[in-house]
Amino acid sequence: MVRRLVAGIALAGWVALGAACNPAPMGGEPAASAPAEAAPGAPTGVEELVGQLRDMAWAGQVDQAQALIETQRPHHDTGSPDWLLAASWLGRGASFAEQWDVAERYANEARDGSVALLATRDLDADAQLPLALGAGIEVLGQAMHARGDREGAIQFLGDERARYRGTSIETRIQKNALLVGLEGEPFPELDVDEHLGPALPSTDSLKGKVVVAFFWAHWCPDCKRQLPALEQLHDTYGDQVAIIGPTQLYGYISRGEDATPEQELAYLRGPYQERFPLPDWMSVPISQQNFLDFGVSTTPTLVVIDREGIVRLYNPGDLSYEELAPHVERLLSQGSEDSGNKPV
């Protein structure tokens, strides 16, 4: 039986991403050292090129990255998934630097090239293709929003989610849609297939409370590091704040051992709970649909909802107590504020 938490329509919103766990890597993490640069005009292997452009993206070296990719273009198959992934990293790097013309150029190259390849192959048959296409879509949505076309960005990302529903990039697209438009909207519905701990609170019991939704995964180390901040939040504010912890099943348990849903549930209720106890005041609804609807491709993801059921913060990534508490304090101090689209 499905239980609903709070009725609402999932639109989308934009905030900065924190460091977090990702169930599928989106092309790698920033390297600790500066990238090595190829000699001008010398061919570079495409995997090395991807790594160089990734490192340059995180380092904010947009001009150098653009010069590098254009120098390498004659030496590579520019329709290959690896090349498109390289282009997508330049698009991402330019978006980080808010150089939107450059970002759109290379995001379009990544997206259009990926779409062309899909005429002859499935999206998830290749490891690099979903990364290139997902990044291209992500950056194009961000660029629309940055140029002031919020509604256009929401429409574009919604259409792209529908187009790639059921693929590995669906949650990534939805996350970016929510970054553009979820804040200021009613908290969307939560499904409950199973649950850990106490039952999900009723809508009536949450009236007048600030709610923090903590989307987590049992395999995610950042989620375990997030929990003490939530426990401190509970200790500080008590029943004024309701904390819920949606999760989903992943098909495996400790050390990546494959598991049926029944086996994974038994693991969560037994060995996992013994090693990493969940607070007895936190309900944990279990549903894959929640992770799709809330775009949880990054764990943890934190959502803060005001006393009227309006989303005031959508944050893919972890937050310290010092970062999270001011949002809660502000909403508590506002009391029963007008539920209009007023950001915190």
In the chain, the percentage of residues whose pLDDT exceeds 70 is: 85
pTM of the model: 0.76
On the CB side of 292, how many CA atoms lie within 13 Å of its CA? 14
Distance of CA 73 to the CA centre of its chain: 31
How many Å apart are CA 298 and CA 293, to the nearest integer? 13
Q: Report helix, strand and coil shares of the chain as percent, to nearest 5.
A: 50, 10, 40
| Residue 37, both tokens | 């640069």
Per DSSP, 228 falls in state H
User: Cis before residue 300, ω within 30 degrees of 0?
Assistant: yes
**pLDDT band of 123, cuts 50, 70, 90:** very high
Q: What pLDDT does residue 21 have?
A: 77
Tokens of 129: 């293709």
Question: 């600030």: which residue's tokens?
Answer: 210
CATH number among 1.25.40.10, 3.40.50.300, 3.40.30.10, 3.90.1210.10, domain 46-167: 1.25.40.10
pLDDT digits (tens, 9 = 90+) for 282-298: 999 999 999 999 999 88
d(C-alpha 282, C-alpha 261), whole Å? 22
pLDDT at 336 (0 to 100): 45
SS3 track for 185-218: CECCCCCCCEEECCCCCCHHHHCCCEEEEEECCC
φ, ψ for residue 168, nearest 5 deg: -70, -15
Summarised one tens digit per residue, pLDDT across range 206-234 is 889 999 999 999 999 999 999 999 999 99
Angle between helices 46-59 and 62-72 (to 10 degrees): 160
Task: Provide the pairing of β-strand 241-244 with 210-215.
Answer: parallel
Q: How many residues does the chain have?
A: 344
pLDDT in tens, 245-278: 999 999 999 989 999 999 999 999 999 999 999 9
Q: Quick check: 110 and 136 in contact, CB under 8 A?
A: yes
Report whether 103 contacts 146 (CB < 8 A).
no
Above pLDDT 90, what percent of the chain? 78
> What is the average pLDDT across 3-32?
41
Residues 301-321: pLDDT tens digits? 999 999 999 999 999 999 999
CB atoms within 10 A of CB 154: 21
Domain 194-334 has CATH 2.40.50.140: no
Q: Is 303 helix (H, G, I), strand (E, B) or coil?
A: strand
What integer pLDDT is reported at residue 335 of this predicted model? 63
What is the residue extent of each domain of the chain? 46-167, 194-334
- Please give the pLDDT value at position 23: 54
How far, in Å, are 189, 285, 338, 343 from residue 145 at the CA level? 25, 32, 26, 17
Strand partners, 213: 244, 303
Judge whether residue 137 has pLDDT over 90: yes
Cβ(222)–Cβ(299) below 8 Å: yes
Query: What's the mean pLDDT when you consider all of the chain?
Result: 87
Inter-CA distances, 289 with 252, 295, 314, Å: 18, 10, 18
CA atoms within 13 A on the CB side of 240: 15
H or E, element range at 173: helix 170-181
